[in-house]
Structure 1
Amino acid sequence: MSRATGSRASADRLARLLNLVPYLLARPGIEIAEAAGDLGVTERQLREDLELLWVCGLPGYGPGDLIDMAFDGDRVTITYDAGIDRPLRLTQDEALALVVALRLLAETPGVDNRDAVEGALAKIEDAAGDLAGAPVAVRLPGDGDRVQRLRAAVQSGRALRITYYTAARDETTERTVDPLRVLMVGGRAYLEAWCRRAEGMRMFRADRIDECLELDEPAAVPPHVRPQDVSAGVFRPAPDLPLITLRVGRGARWITEYYPCEQVRPDGDQWLVSLRVTDLAWARRLVLGLGPGVTVVSPPELAEEVRAQAALALDAYSRPGAAAAAAPAAGQ
């Protein structure tokens, strides 16, 4: 099973789950095979969706709040829908939260279907009445002085000298860049610029730019450069990047919807997941952060690095003073 992007897979599954409850409510006792055919998914995927629905419902999430269903062999019936069949009625706080979110979305650069956003905002504001006029300041996430300076540099056409932290390599470098644009992707602000050090276009996360100095010289973006298509996310797996394969349990399977994966296939009650990474140091930190629910299948050098780092961490618990020595190594 291939995943084009984690965000697209999550959106597709959410849409499927929202459609699944009213579909089953209208067809009590339907066979799972028939439902899977109607919905265009495999029986395995439908069963996994039903397992997820079982823990969805109204806030509070007590036994009387969750969606419930009954199975009779290969047939399924929704026995409690947690109110999903009732028309939505917003409280004042909920309406205000939606107004603020839609105003924020309307201010986000690069948003498609802005007319639809403004139309929805107008309807919610009309329904909210006087509450919609409450004095609420709407600002983009991370839209502080740093982002304002980046936008000013783009508008003025000046080059920038930045101090940038690269999380994948855990290093801080100084670069001179020629800004092209500032954009929002996944709730984060990025500077897209020509990096003179790398001699290529790069996406710099605004919150990782520690210092930013506007230079007197004009930006000199090469004429052949075009803005990157970020509809599928900022990270673009390339064939020359390291390929890692992990065996993941149910608790860590979320990585298949968060990161672009080349392959995800069942392996008993676990899954074998293959994905490209920027480098093995980043992959090592990812695996260590996921804990015992993940095993490195390949490459062998990654498995050895994880094993060595885990042994160092365990040793820190057994010897007084070792924790201080292990801490810097864990962050490398």
Structure 2
Amino acid sequence: MTGGGVTDRLPRLLNLVPYLLARPGIPITEAAADFGISERQLRRDLELLWMCGLPGYGPGDLVDLSFAGDTVTVTEDAGMRRPLRLTTAEATALLVALRTLGEAPGIVDTAAVRRATAKIERAVGDAGLTTVAVDLTREEEATTAAVRTALEQRRALRIRYYTAGRDAVSQRVIDPMRLLLVEGRGYLEAWCRRAEGVRLFRLDRVEDVERLDEPAAPPPDAEPTDVSAGLFRPRAEHRTAVLEVAPEARWIAEYYPVDEVVELDGAANAPGTARVLLRYADPGWLVRLVLGLGGGARVLEPPEVAAAVAERARTALAGLDEAASPQVGSTT
């Protein structure tokens, strides 16, 4: 966990007080290591906690800490004794991910995944949620089943795959290697014979899959993809665009690779409006994407793409006006 962003820092602050209450006199270095942040960041968090508390903000209302050498103890918790709990939606998402992991080949410790799943299921059951539904289309279910069978039988696949960055569909013959769950989405890692390299194929973008009779045979030197630092990494051919997206267009931040999503507050913006830093390879694809959103997105940068979107929109409107206007010499 990094220390800088609000989305990282707020949950950490809410969990920090109950954590310290359970470990009075804990060395600051040890606490920082447990939270995965630097000692300096932890001290900044503790300084902020000193200003947090209940309305009234007098003695007994604010969080109070005691330092002895390089250790810290909470002397007043201001009611922040309970750690964060999973909401029903969060527990559901976590269960779906764990179940996918438990069924995927190549999991190092399947028993640990099953134990974690059972614990969360019990907790969710105690909260009153008896079932967890996974909304998958028939196509996604069929794709996942075919991929798992191919992995088990070590068979090659022929797939029709949609590449979002190029807005193109291609046919590929691949040698499956493993299933991955990264950032909440399922991927098939495979050797792509056309590209002659290891590629990740997002399962919900596989439009058709056919299991072949020939065995899967990735080269011996085919290296698994390192996803420890995140799935999408900038490439030399990638460019970045800054878009302002309306609430109805927020889905693009989940469907396409983005580097940043910043909420835009204020009276001038509708709730849910955001600024998105989006990576793309083809300017023409980005122009089509923005136009297809029907006013749900506006290009802030780069200016040449913004100009191209505006020009295409003017041309389309002019064509509509021309089609709607009566023709000279026409009779009624």
Task: Give distance in 2, aligned partners of 1:278 and 1:303.
Answer: 16
- For 1:68 and 1:286, how far apart are their aligned partners in 2? 47
> Kindly, what percent of the aligned residue pairs are identical?
40
**Alignment-mate amino acid for residue 17 of structure 1:** L
Amino acid at match of 2:151: V
State how far apart, in whole Å, the 1-side matches of 2:240 and 2:252 are.
Answer: 13
Are 2:307 and 1:304 aligned?
Answer: yes
Q: Does 1:218 align with 2:227?
A: no
Q: How well do the aligned residues superpose, as a CA RMSD in angstroms?
A: 5.6
Name the counterpart of 1:173.
170
Structure 2 residue runs without a partner (length 5+): 18-39, 64-78, 263-267, 269-273, 326-332
What is the alpha-carbon distance in structure 2 between the residues aligned to residue 68 and residue 318 of structure 1? 61
Distance in 1 of aligned mates of 2:191 and 2:222 = 9
Higher RCO, 1 or 2 (CA under 8 Å, sep at least 6)?
1
SS of the residue 1:197 aligns to: coil
Letter of the structure 1 residue corresponding to residue 181 of structure 2: M
Question: Which residue identity is paired with 1:144?
Answer: E
Structure 1: which 5+ runs fail to align? 1-7, 25-35, 47-66, 72-76, 323-332
Structure 1 residue 236 corresponds to structure 2 residue 233: yes
Deviation at 1:222, TM superposition (A): 1.8
Structure 1 letter corresponding to 2:305: L
Q: Aligned AA for 1:212?
A: V
If the length of structure 1 is used for normalisation, what is the TM-score? Answer: 0.56
Equivalent position of 1:102 in the other structure: 95
Change (3 A) 1:242 1:217: same
> Taking structure 1 as reference, are residues 118 and 70 closer, same or farther at Cα in structure 2, changes over 3 Å only?
farther
Whether 1:187 aligns to 2:190 is no
CA deviation profile, 1:129-151 (whole Å, cap 9, x unmatched):
789995x4776956612211112
Instruction: Identify the residue that residue 59 of structure 1 maps to in structure 2.
Output: none
CA contact (8 A) 2:246 2:296 kept: no
Q: The residue matched to 2:148 in structure 1 has which SS?
A: helix
2:152 counterpart (122, 135, 155): 155
Larger displacement relative to structure 2 (146-155 or 285-294): 285-294
Distance 1:217 1:309, change over 3 A: same
- Measure the CA separation in 2 of the matches of 1:155 and 1:297: 47
Aligned residues: 265
Q: Counterpart in 2 of 1:284?
A: 287
Query: Larger radius of gyration, structure 1 or 2?
Result: 2
User: Retained in 1: the 8 A contact 2:245–2:275?
Assistant: no
Give per-residue Cα distances to partners, 1:249-292, cap 9 Å, x unaligned: 99899999985549x9xxxx9x9986642322343355554957
